[in-house]
C-alpha cells in the first residue's frame, strides 16, 4: 500500500476550502439580495386620534434597511478580489469579506423587529406625517438574510485561514503570457545589443 505524500493533505484541505468559500460566498450574497426584496413586516395603518379607516401596509427588506444588500455586494466583490491580490492585500480583502458578512447579520437581526419602515409606509399611504400601525407581524425573511450574512462570514473566515495557499489569477496569467512571448520571440542573444534592448522594452530580464 502506497502512502500519500504529507504535503497532499494540506493541499487537499486548501482546495476544499477554496470550493467551500466560493460556494458559501456566492450563495450568501444571493440569499441576502433576494431577501432584501421580500416583505419583512406588515400591519394596519390608521390616522392617530381620529379612528379613520385602516389600510394594510407592508415593508420590504430594502425599505427596512439597505445595509444588508449593500454589504452583500461588497462581500461579493471582495470574494472575487481575493484572487486578484496576494499576501497582505489578500488578508485585507478577506477581512473585508468577513466583516461584510458580520455586518449583514447584525443589520438583518436589527431589522427583524423594526417598525420604523412600516410607520413611514403608513404615513405615506395616508398622506400624514404621523400614523399608527397596529397588528404588526414580521416574516421570516430577516432571518434568511441573517443566514446569508453567516455564509458570507464563513467565506471570509475560510479566506483568512487558507487564502495564502490559493492561486492568484493575475500571477498565473502573467506567467503564461510571459512564457508565450518568450516562446514566440525566442531566446535573447547576449552578444547582440539590439536583442538586449528589445528584451528590456518588453519588460523581460535579458540575463535569464
Read off the C-alpha cell for 46: 390608521
Question: Is the per-residue pLDDT at 156 higher than 50?
Answer: yes
Read off the C-alpha cell for 134: 397596529
Spatial CA neighbour of 47 closest among 140, 135, 119, 143: 119
In a 3-state reduction of DSSP, which class is residue 173? helix
Question: Is the per-residue pLDDT at 159 higher than 80?
Answer: yes
Burial of 201 (0-12, 13-18, 19+ CB in 10 A): exposed
Highest mean pLDDT among 14-23, 64-73, 119-128: 64-73
Within 8 A by CB and 6+ apart from 68, the residues are 32, 35, 36, 61, 104, 107, 108, 111, 145, 148, 149
- Which residue has better confidence, 58 or 70? 70
| Separation CA 165–CA 22 (nearest Å) | 15
User: For the whole model, what pTM was predicted?
Assistant: 0.73
pLDDT of residue 172: 46
Mean pLDDT of the chain: 80
pLDDT of residue 96: 96
Residue 54 burial (CB count, 10 A)? 17
| Structural domains of the chain ordered from first start | 13-167 (1.20.140), 170-208 (no CATH)
Q: Over range 111-115, report the average pLDDT.
A: 88
Amino acid at each position: 500500500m502506497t502512502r500519500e505524500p504529507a504535503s497532499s493533505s494540506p493541499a487537499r484541505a486548501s482546495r476544499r476550502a477554496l470550493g467551500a468559500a466560493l460556494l458559501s460566498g456566492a450563495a450568501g450574497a444571493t440569499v441576502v439580495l433576494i431577501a432584501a426584496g421580500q416583505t419583512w413586516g406588515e400591519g394596519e395603518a390608521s390616522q392617530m386620534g381620529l379612528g379613520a379607516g385602516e389600510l394594510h401596509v407592508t415593508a420590504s427588506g430594502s425599505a427596512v434597511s439597505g445595509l444588508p444588500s449593500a454589504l452583500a455586494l461588497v462581500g461579493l466583490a471582495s470574494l472575487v478580489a481575493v484572487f486578484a491580490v496576494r499576501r497582505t492585500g489578500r488578508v485585507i480583502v478577506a477581512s473585508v469579506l468577513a466583516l461584510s458578512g458580520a455586518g449583514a447579520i447584525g443589520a438583518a437581526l436589527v431589522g427583524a423587529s423594526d417598525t420604523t419602515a412600516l410607520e413611514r409606509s403608513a404615513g405615506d399611504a395616508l398622506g400624514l406625517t404621523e400614523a399608527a400601525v397596529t397588528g404588526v407581524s414580521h416574516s421570516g425573511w430577516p432571518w434568511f438574510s441573517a443566514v446569508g450574512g453567516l455564509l458570507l462570514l464563513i467565506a471570509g473566515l475560510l479566506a483568512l485561514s487558507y487564502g495564502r495557499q490559493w492561486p492568484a489569477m493575475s500571477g498565473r496569467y502573467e506567467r503564461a503570457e510571459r512564457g508565450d512571448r518568450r516562446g514566440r520571440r525566442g531566446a535573447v542573444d547576449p552578444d547582440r545589443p539590439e536583442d538586449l534592448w528589445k528584451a528590456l522594452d518588453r519588460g523581460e530580464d535579458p540575463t535569464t
